[in-house]
Structure 1
Amino acid sequence: MSDHSLPELRRPDGSPLRILAVDDEPMLTDLLAMALRMEGWEVRTAASGMEALQVVRDFGPDAIILDVMMPDLDGLGVLRRLREAGNLVPVLFLTAKDAVADRIAGLTVGGDDYVTKPFSLEEVVARLRAVIRRSGGAATAEGESILQVGDLTLNEDSHEVIRAGTEVELTATEFELLRYLMRNERRVLSKAQILDRVWSYDFGGRSSVVELYISYLRKKLDAGHTPLIHTVRGVGYMIKAPQ
């Protein structure tokens, strides 16, 4: 199951990553736990939304695999409570639903990625590795990389974002969107390009999720400062320093 050609992901202190798998189907959580432990990670499982919230408090996971449909509190409700409490843990949604609207619903409440059932365990592990790396919750052997636009800096390894000397706290998806913009400074990126790069989804023209996350970034980065993120009407978005 584990692809040993990929860099090992561990916590910054060198200890195993902690993953919580939440689904009301015991056979599924058993399979997920087996696959995740083969990556060398520490795993806990939960069979309901309320149990998941308790395990989050006790276990402190670095990422969560979260089923959308559950009998008590559904996955969207779990994530809303986590985000309202200031918990920015990366979340990979699982669901039997395959509608575009359901994908957007999961992402707009703060989810980081989405896998529909039935899925392969390899796909879940690969997507989970991606959201963990985006969140900065794992250490690798890569060298430090700093991006800068005007008075905004982004550290790709520590995932620190600083604007005018003040640290800005971003979710994993907000960070990935900002990184993509900063890597393409002064270049207009279409909504389709952003969807493909940040979410790896074809939303069939539904670009509202991009507009939503651009608005999140603007509130966190541009409030009280000269705007860095610009809309090019009918084309897309770009980031550039003031002249």
Structure 2
Amino acid sequence: MSWMETMSEEQYYYPVVSDNLPKHIKKGHQLVFSRQDLSAREADMFALMVAHMKAADWDTNTPHYEFTSHQLSEWLGVESKHIGSNLSPVANRLASRKIGIKIESRKGDTEFDYRPLFKHIAYKNGVLTMVPNDMLKSEYIEYNQGFALINTRNFFDVKKEYSKRLYELLSRFKDKGFEMHQQKLDELKGVFGLLNEAGKLKKDKTSFKNNSVFMKRCIRESIKELSEHP
């Protein structure tokens, strides 16, 4: 057998995905406070993988997660006959999504290192395959800076992208009675996906330059939606 054939037949590790939806999505602090700009449906799909991920999944090599159309239909509330048309474009967009991880430079400055969320993601033949980027392994499974335990069902029930993001942030501090640490507005704008890699407002997000617009759309309207999903 040639070296190329050996490579192509490498045995990937596929963790068993139960038909029972995990109760919580466990996200480390670095992942929760990363800069990310995901639509509501993209956030759901990403959360589905994280909810099923365990640290032991990485013991052999990068895990591959597979979800059937039946599981996706039940968990994400999409009719099974529309799964492909609904989720294929979402998977395609997620394939190119990057998140900015907050790091401290040697000079003590705060910088953001942008990395793709996925190594591979595709919906084919009624199966969604998701392979996390191994360059984010520590962000996925290390919790030494704390973590958020996000109620999976509630997260999926919340419909708007900014509401989902706020729910993640609040879940990070719910052991303190949902009291969130003080955050600078510019930092929050990054967390809500409004800033580009240079730290400037994205061209399609310029209305958020007005802080009152940001507070209304990202915070107040999100709190209102979350209050309707206790």
Normalising by the residue count of structure 1, what TM-score does the alignment of the two structures yield? 0.29
Greater helix fraction, Structure 1 or Structure 2? 2
Scaled by the length of structure 2, what TM-score is found?
0.30
